[in-house]
Amino acid sequence: MKNSSLYKGSLTTIIMKLLEENGRMYGYEITQKVKQITAGELTITEGALYPALHKLESEGLLDVEVERVDNRLRKYYKLTESGEKETVNKMAELEEFIRNMQSILSPDVKPGLQL
């Protein structure tokens, strides 16, 4: 398999975190940034990315600005105010998720366990 099934359900979180970090980004830029950050280990497919961006926009979490650069279209996305709030929640969920998965991975390091 290319990407492990573990990445299922994480795309929205990834998009919002990148936009929080970088202010505004366009779709293709997001795919390249993820490749770079993960040293090529995670590839965001366009068939997943674009529908996800459109959904976030329709939910009012992202705003779009279309620009023409080098005679090619770019759709820049940025977080709305509501999107920024939701990003905070997403980050808390991600941290909790990682903690819980690490607890399963390392059964002797349970949260709150006295050693």
- Choose among its own copies, DNA, none what residue 71 binds, the Cβ cut-off being 5 to 8 Å by kind: DNA
CB nearer to its own copies: give 11 or 62: 11
- Choose among DNA, its own copies, none what residue 115 binds, the Cβ cut-off being 5 to 8 Å by kind: none
Backbone conformation region of residue 76, classed left if phi is above 0, alpha if psi is from -120 to 50, else beta: beta
HSE value, Cβ hemisphere, 13 Å, CA-based, for 85: 4
Residue 74 binds to DNA (criterion: CB under 7 A)? yes
Residue 100 binds to DNA (criterion: CB under 7 A)? no
First to last CA, the chain: 39
13-42: contacts with DNA (CB under 7 A): 26-29, 32
Phi, psi of 109 (to 5 degrees): -120, 65
Considering only CA atoms, which of 69, 59, 72 is closest in space to residue 15?
59
Please report, as ranges, the residues that interact with its own copies according to CB under 8 A: 4-10, 12-14, 17-18, 21, 34, 37-39, 41-42, 91, 93-98, 100-105, 107, 110-112
